[in-house]
Amino acid sequence: MDEFELIQRYFERANSSAGVIVGIGDDGAVLSPTPNKELVTVIDTLVEEVHFPGNTNAGDVGYRAVAVNLSDIAAMGATPRWMTLALSMPASDSSWLAAFSGGLFDAASEYGVALVGGDTTFARQTVVTVALSGEIERGRAILRSGAKPGDTIFVTGTIGDAAAALETSGDQEVDEFILQRYLRPSARVQYGQALVGSASAAIDISDGLLADLGKLLTASHVGGEIDLGCLPISAPVQSRYSESQQRGLALSGGDDYELCFTAAPNTLPDSDGLQVTAIGVVTQTPGLTAKLGGENVPYADPGYRHFQ
Ligand code: ADP
Ligand code: MG
C-alpha cells in the first residue's frame, strides 16, 4: 500500500461539515467560511513516547489527536469546522491505520468537523499533528487576557483524572473511568460556545491547573487566589489517593482538557449538566496563591514544559 492508496483508504470520507468546496485530493483544500465570522485556528502534535506510550491503542491516539485541538477551540468559544492531519509513522500497518482513522473520525463526527487534507510521511516514530479551524462571531473570541479583579475562577468537570491514569499505567487494576479520561478526553466545545459573552477569560487545562491558570492570570495582568478545598476531584480519584495526593494530581497533572475560566459573579450560563466549580477569585495583586482552610499553602509547580 503506497502513500496514495493509504490516504484514499483511510482518510478520504464524505465530508461532515458544510463549507468544504474542495477537500482531500487536490493541492489544497478550498473552504468557504460563513460570512461575517472570524476564523480561529489551532494546531497540536502528539509524539509517540512524549505524549502517549508506544503501546497506546491506535483508535485512542486518533481520537485524542482531534480532541486536544477541539479543546483549544472550546477555550476560545469557537465552533470547530475543518481540520488537516500530518501523519508520520514507521510503517503503513493497515490494522493500526484502520483503528487510528476510526478513532479520528469518531471525534470528528461527534463534533461536526471535516478532514479536508493532510500529509503522510515515513518517520522512525509515530508523530500525529492535527490543525483545526473553527469559526466565531466577529470580535467574540474568549481570550486569556480578559480576567478582572473580583471575577470568580471556575473549572469544568473534574481535574487530576488523566494524571492518575498516567500514574497507574502498567498497573494491573486500572480504573476504567480514570483511563478513559486520559485516552478519550471530552473537549468542552458546547460549553465553550455558551461562555461567549459571559466568561471574561478562558484557557483549557492541558499542562495542569496551576500552570494553565497561571498563564491566564499573567496574560490578564492580574493574580488569583484559589481554595484547594474546592477543587473538583472525581470519586475514583478520591477513593484511590490521599487528600494531598489528590490535590497534587489536580494542581499539577495535565491532560484533562477541562476549561478554566473567569467570569463576573452571577453570570454563569447553563451548563446542561456539566459540572462547573468555583475554585477561587481573581485578585489585583499578581501571583497565584492557594489556600486551604483559610491558610496559605505553599506549592511549587510550573506544570509540564518541553525541553526542561
Ligand atoms: P502534495 O504532494 O500536493 O502536497 P500529497 O500528495 O501529499 O499532496 O497529498 C495528496 C492529497 O491528499 C492532498 O489533498 C492532501 O491534503 C491529502 N492528504 C495527504 N495525507 C493525508 C492525510 N493523512 N489525511 C488526509 N488527507 C491527506
Ligand atoms: Mg501538491
Q: Is the pLDDT of residue 172 over 70?
A: no
Beta carbons of 39 and 133 less than 8 angstroms apart: yes
Give the closest ligand to the alpha carbon of residue 117.
1
Would you state the pLDDT for residue 148?
98
pLDDT in tens, 203-259: 999 999 999 999 999 999 999 999 999 999 999 999 999 999 999 999 999 999 999
Q: Which of ligand 1's atoms lies nearest the C-alpha of 86?
A: 23
Across residues 75-97, what is the average pLDDT?
97
Beta carbons of 145 and 202 less than 8 angstroms apart: no
Cell of 105: 473520525
Nearest protein CA to atom 4 of ligand 1, as residue: 27
Closest of 41, 44, 39 to residue 257, by C-alpha: 44
Q: Which of ligand 1's atoms lies nearest the C-alpha of 117?
A: 16
Q: Is the pLDDT of residue 110 over 70?
A: yes
Ligand 1: residue of 13, 119, 127, 129 to mutate (most ligand atoms within 8 A of CB) is 119
Measure 141 CA to ligand 1 centroid, in angstroms.
30
| Cα-to-chain-centroid distance, residue 298 | 28
Nearest protein CA to atom 5 of ligand 1, as residue: 119
- Indicate whether residue 83 lines ligand 1 (CB < 6 A): no
Q: Which of ligand 1's atoms lies nearest the C-alpha of 87?
A: 23
pLDDT in tens, 61-77: 999 999 999 999 999 99
Higher-scoring residue by pLDDT: 266, 68: 68
Which secondary structure element, helix H or strand E, spans residue 127, and what is its range?
strand 127-137
Listing DSSP states for 48-89 in one string gives BTTTB-TTS-HHHHHHHHHHHHHHHHHHHTPEEEEEEEEEEE
Across residues 124-130, what is the average pLDDT?
97
Mean pLDDT of the chain: 93
Distance from C-alpha of 53 to C-alpha of 44, rounded to nearest angstrom: 17
Would you state the pLDDT for residue 265?
85
- Indicate whether residue 246 lines ligand 1 (CB < 6 A): no
Beta carbons of 298 and 228 less than 8 angstroms apart: no
Q: Is the pLDDT of residue 303 over 60?
A: no
Measure 86 CA to ligand 1 centroid, in angstroms.
9
Beta carbons of 61 and 100 less than 8 angstroms apart: yes
Beta carbons of 23 and 116 less than 8 angstroms apart: yes
Across residues 168-183, what is the average pLDDT?
83
Would you state the pLDDT for residue 124?
95
Beta carbons of 142 and 28 less than 8 angstroms apart: no
Measure 70 CA to ligand 1 centroid, in angstroms.
22
b/e per residue 212-225 (b: at least 16 CB within 10 A): bbbebbeebebbbb
Give the closest ligand to the alpha carbon of residue 4.
1
- Report which DSSP code applies to 146: G
